[in-house]
Amino acid sequence: MLDERVETVWHNGGMFDTVVLPHAMDIHIPIERVHDTMVRAYTHSLPGALGDLCDILKVDTDKSKDRAGRQLIMLFCKPRPKNSAIRRATRETHPVEWGRFVDYAALDIHSMREVYKKLPIWNYRDMELALWHLDQQINRRGFAVDMELVHAAIDAVAKAQKQLAKRTVQMTDGTVQAATQRDALLTHLLVEYGVNLPDMQKATLERRIADPDLPEAMRELLGPVLWCGPHWALGWPIVPAAKPTTANA
């Protein structure tokens, strides 16, 4: 892998494995050394999923092992549920399943090798391949983000939330503490204005706000919920990130 003269073959390696490796294992593989069978399939209007390619190219696979492999991926590659005593499944916490996971990875390699041999090559070369290399270089470089502006926007939203919450308390005589209190707001609208909204979805709010017979006070109450989107309506907090001055994304 570290020999610069050797081309490496992956399935989705260009957009996953070789992107993760520098961060996980300090292994850097130039995109020009990456032969990606998924991208090669795409250049010929074929599906990218390895299982689908095996079906099309008549590569023998064990479907039951493939299904079990998906379950193992979900086990080891995603955080465990919040109510689980173990936050991450590892080879230490699940040694038996880990052994099966390793076997599944080996089976995947066999399938990829056969797909590599059978895929057409005529569109995965020359200018088309150079364009993909350029595309991946652009993606890996990322783009500059004005983090000062980002955090200023987060602060501005937080201030606006406080102001609107204060106004909501005034307009409802304290029965609703903020427009994010969905159930309390729905109850207040029903009691105060006789309006029974089925939900706080965007289409529902737009329809009622556009109603010329809607009381102005009710329109003012509904406005912030609509303007600020689902995270406001459901009461989801905006979580600020760390505060570097610049970053790549």
What are the pLDDT digits (tens) for 134-185?
A: 999 999 888 899 999 999 999 998 888 788 778 878 878 888 776 667 788 8
- For residue 230, the model assigns a pLDDT of 45
CB neighbourhood size of 222 (10 A): 23
Phi and psi dihedrals of 144, rounded to 5?
Answer: -70, 140
CA pair distance 148, 153, nearest whole angstrom: 9
Q: 36 near 13, Cβ under 8 Å?
A: yes
Task: Please tell me whether the overall predicted TM-score, pTM, comes out greater than 0.75 for this model.
Answer: no
- For residue 237, the model assigns a pLDDT of 44
Residues in the chain predicted with pLDDT less than 70, given as ranges, are 63-66, 178-180, 225-249
- For residue 228, the model assigns a pLDDT of 55
- For residue 231, the model assigns a pLDDT of 41
The type of residue at 103 is D
- Quote the tokens at residue 146: 């004005």
- For residue 106, the model assigns a pLDDT of 85
